[in-house]
């Protein structure tokens, strides 16, 4: 049962409205807080999502509308990388002078983080107003279509917010899977599938091909597709879906390639090579975010931006002057939008590095599956192996905790196990202990509270000039990031 949100006496009227809006949303069915034992409760109904948007007067965003009515939308799915790719695309468009709406999930601290226009989250007042309108629409269709879920409501809120804000572009990240995700009623200009890996198997299937079929469900008739999937069997699934939908496919490794070199401290230098029109060739840029996986994400984002046409650039620009003058062609977008955006963008909790006093370095990473932990370990081997590493780890019940701990064991580090507090899906510490290796248990520490775990890691790192790493879960990153960043 969802715990009610307590309102303090000092809470302002505005905050009361915001917290009541949150309370309403969190009382809905929320698949983000259901574990594998609740898999039978995953009942997705896209028709209800369509009716909800229609009730809000947002029909132009669904059912393949006429081009003149549609706001250009980039739809991003994938097991890993979809949040980073979505943020990169949105940042490039914003930097180029376009008013851009970005819908992502989950959030780190505040639910309003999921709804951004030009990097700014919506205010508490706006949030409460959005919930009011969406709630009225949801209740109007409930007799015929049933109760809307948490994610259906937040998806509707995002599109309504971007419509009110008169966005020129929308970037929407898939929540879970693709085929039956609430965002899949939207009509995209470009579809993106970043990767296929084993995650959420209790919902999406227990093998890569099954998961690929779910992700490929975002491919729409005639809409170009950018794919970064690596395994041959998953590439074949994406190719088959694209072919059956007459959608032009741009596959990393076939239609475009890249090379990358590590920058001295953090990030990469990239050369993008497009082997098919309209992709650019020999485009060079810098990526501030660390890791080969972020280099790949930047290349995938570049390919997606390259598929936007001049018609997309011109259609929704506001001539009133509220927006900066937009760039007039794809070349300007890549040179004056993409380059400065990627050179400065750091997504929260994606190998997010900071330097602190006493020679302490912190890395907060939302890695929560085997692939993302492997990317973290690769980074630690290349960047941090000369300093002691203290890793705070906690994860969710539906994750391959043993596999992740096994991968972490490839790096000499001291492990501190914990469990996050604000979501019932946490993996109990006592069970995590049984999954550690004999080597990890030699110096193992535990802490029931994530901040307490960070305090232990910080004390050790301050004494040795070491690196504090937080990993294993987006929820864990959310509960520790603010504490870590409070240190000078």
400-440 pLDDT tens trace: 999 999 999 999 999 999 999 988 889 999 999 999 999 99
Among 228, 225, 204, 200, which residue's Cα sits nearest to residue 214?
204
Task: Please check the confidence at residue 33 and state whether its pLDDT lies above 90.
Answer: no
What backbone torsions phi and psi does residue 187 show, to the nearest 5 degrees?
Answer: -100, 110
Confidence of residue 310 (pLDDT cuts 50, 70, 90): confident
Query: What's the pLDDT at 5?
Result: 32
Task: Please check the confidence at residue 12 and state whether its pLDDT lies above 50.
Answer: no
Task: Please check the confidence at residue 306 and state whether its pLDDT lies above 90.
Answer: yes
How many other CB atoms are there within 10 angstroms of residue 41's CB atom?
Answer: 9
Least confident interval from 9-23, 29-43, 54-68, 158-172: 29-43
Q: How far is C-alpha 382 from the chain's CA centre? A: 25
Least confident interval from 153-162, 324-333, 409-418, 438-447: 324-333
Task: Please check the confidence at residue 262 and state whether its pLDDT lies above 50.
Answer: yes
Least confident interval from 141-145, 151-155, 244-248, 371-375: 371-375
Task: Please check the confidence at residue 203 and state whether its pLDDT lies above 80.
Answer: no
**Long-range contacts at 203-208 (CB < 8 A, ≥ 24 apart):** 203/31, 203/39, 203/42, 203/176, 203/177, 204/176, 204/177, 208/233, 208/234
Task: Please check the confidence at residue 247 and state whether its pLDDT lies above 50.
Answer: yes
How many other CB atoms are there within 10 angstroms of residue 307's CB atom?
Answer: 21
How many other CB atoms are there within 10 angstroms of residue 132's CB atom?
Answer: 14
Among 202, 151, 172, which residue's Cα sits nearest to residue 62?
172
Peptide bond into 250 cis (omega under 30): no
How many other CB atoms are there within 10 angstroms of residue 159's CB atom?
Answer: 28
Q: Rounded distance, CA 160 to CA 342, Å?
A: 28
**C-alpha to C-alpha distances, 82 to 87, 192, 329, 351, 445, nearest whole angstrom:** 8, 8, 25, 15, 33
Query: What's the pLDDT at 311?
Result: 79
For residue range 89-127, list pLDDT tens digits in order. 999 999 999 999 999 998 988 999 999 999 999 999 999
Q: Looking at mean pLDDT, say which of 40-44, 154-158, 334-338 comes out highest.
A: 154-158
Among 166, 211, 172, 164, which residue's Cα sits nearest to residue 189?
172
Confidence of residue 254 (pLDDT cuts 50, 70, 90): very high
Coil, helix or strand for 488?
A: coil
Q: Rounded distance, CA 454 to CA 13, Å?
A: 35
- Reported as type and span, the H/E element at residue 270 is strand 268-274
Among 307, 188, 190, which residue's Cα sits nearest to residue 255?
307
Confidence of residue 385 (pLDDT cuts 50, 70, 90): confident
What backbone torsions phi and psi does residue 215 show, to the nearest 5 degrees?
Answer: -65, -40
Task: Please check the confidence at residue 1 and state whether its pLDDT lies above 70.
Answer: no
CATH number 3.40.1190.10 is the correct assignment for the domain at 13-344: yes
Query: What's the pLDDT at 37?
Result: 46
Query: What's the pLDDT at 34?
Result: 54
- Taking the alpha carbons at both ends of the chain, their separation in whole angstroms is 39
Give the pLDDT mean for 4-8.
33
Task: Please check the confidence at residue 46 and state whether its pLDDT lies above 50.
Answer: yes
Contact predicate 71/316, CB 8 Å: yes
For residue range 22-31, list pLDDT tens digits in order. 999 999 876 6
Q: What is the DSSP letter of 371?
A: H
Among 61, 303, 40, which residue's Cα sits nearest to residue 160?
61
Q: What is the DSSP letter of 337?
A: I
Contact predicate 270/285, CB 8 Å: yes
Could you tell me where the DSSP H helices lie in 63-169? 82-95, 124-145, 150-164
Query: What's the pLDDT at 7?
Result: 33
For residue range 283-298, list pLDDT tens digits in order. 999 999 999 999 999 9
352-485: what fold?
A: 3.90.190
Least confident interval from 183-192, 264-273, 322-331: 322-331
Query: What's the pLDDT at 488?
Result: 84
Task: Please check the confidence at residue 209 and state whether its pLDDT lies above 80.
Answer: yes
DSSP string, 155-213: HHHHHHHHHHTT-SEEEEE-SSSSTTSGGGGB--SEEEE----S-SHHHH-SSHHHHHH
Confidence of residue 160 (pLDDT cuts 50, 70, 90): very high
Helix %, strand %, coil % of the chain (to 5): 45, 15, 40
Domain positions in the chain: 13-344, 352-485
Contact predicate 294/87, CB 8 Å: no
Query: What's the pLDDT at 3?
Result: 32
- With a pLDDT cut of 70, the percent of the chain lying above it is 88
Query: What's the pLDDT at 312?
Result: 83
Give the pLDDT mean for 478-488.
93
Q: Rounded distance, CA 415 to CA 445, Å?
A: 6
Least confident interval from 14-23, 349-358, 450-459: 14-23
């Amino acid at each position: 049962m969802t715990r009610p949100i307590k309102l303090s006496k000092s809470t302002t009227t505005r905050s009361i409205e915001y917290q009541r809006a949150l309370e309403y949303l969190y009382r809905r069915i929320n698949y983000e807080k259901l574990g594998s034992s609740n898999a039978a409760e995953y009942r997705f109904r896209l028709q209800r999502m369509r009716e909800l948007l229609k009730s809000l007067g947002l029909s132009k965003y669904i059912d393949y509308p006429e081009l003149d009515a549609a706001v250009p939308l980039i739809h991003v799915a994938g097991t890993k990388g979809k949040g980073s790719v979505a943020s990169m695309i949105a940042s490039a468009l914003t930097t180029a002078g376009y008013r851009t709406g970005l819908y992502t999930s989950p959030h780190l601290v505040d639910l309003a983080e999921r709804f951004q226009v030009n990097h700014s989250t919506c205010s508490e007042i706006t949030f409460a107003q959005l919930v009011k309108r969406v709630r009225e629409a949801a209740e109007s269709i409930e007799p015929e279509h049933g109760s809307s879920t948490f994610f259906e409501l937040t998806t509707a809120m995002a599109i309504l917010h971007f419509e009110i804000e008169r966005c020129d572009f929308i970037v929407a990240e898939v929540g879970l899977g693709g085929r039956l995700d609430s965002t899949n009623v939207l009509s995209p200009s470009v579809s993106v599938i970043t990767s296929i890996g084993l995650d959420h198997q209790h919902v999406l299937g227990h093998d890569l091909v099954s998961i690929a079929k779910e992700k490929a469900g975002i491919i729409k008739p005639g809409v170009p597709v950018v794919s970064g999937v690596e395994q041959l069997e998953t590439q074949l699934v994406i190719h088959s879906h694209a072919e059956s939908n007459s959608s032009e496919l741009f596959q990393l490794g076939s239609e475009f390639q890249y090379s990358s070199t590590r920058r001295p401290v953090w990030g990469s230098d990239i050369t993008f090579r497009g082997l098919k029109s309209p992709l650019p060739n020999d485009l060079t840029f810098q990526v501030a975010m660390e890791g080969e996986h972020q280099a790949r994400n930047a290349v995938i984002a570049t390919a997606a931006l390259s598929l936007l046409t001049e018609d997309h650039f011109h259609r929704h620009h506001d001539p009133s002057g509220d927006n900066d003058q937009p760039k007039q062609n794809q070349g300007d977008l890549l040179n004056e939008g993409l380059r400065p955006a990627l050179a400065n963008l750091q997504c929260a909790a994606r190998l997010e590095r900071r330097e602190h006093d006493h020679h302490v370095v912190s890395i907060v990473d939302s890695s929560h599956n085997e692939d993302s932990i492997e990317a973290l370990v690769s980074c630690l081997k290349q960047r941090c192996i000369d300093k002691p590493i203290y890793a705070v780890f906690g994860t969710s019940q539906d994750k391959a905790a043993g596999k992740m701990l096994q991968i972490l064991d490839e790096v000499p580090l001291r492990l501190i196990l914990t469990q996050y507090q604000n979501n019932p899906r946490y993996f109990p510490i006592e069970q995590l202990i049984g999954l550690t290796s004999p080597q990890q248990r030699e110096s193992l520490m535990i802490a029931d509270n994530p901040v307490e775990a960070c305090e232990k890691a910080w004390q050790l790192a301050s004494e040795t000039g070491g690196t504090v790493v937080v990993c294993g879960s987006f929820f864990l990153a959310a509960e520790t990031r603010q504490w870590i960043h409070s240190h000078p």
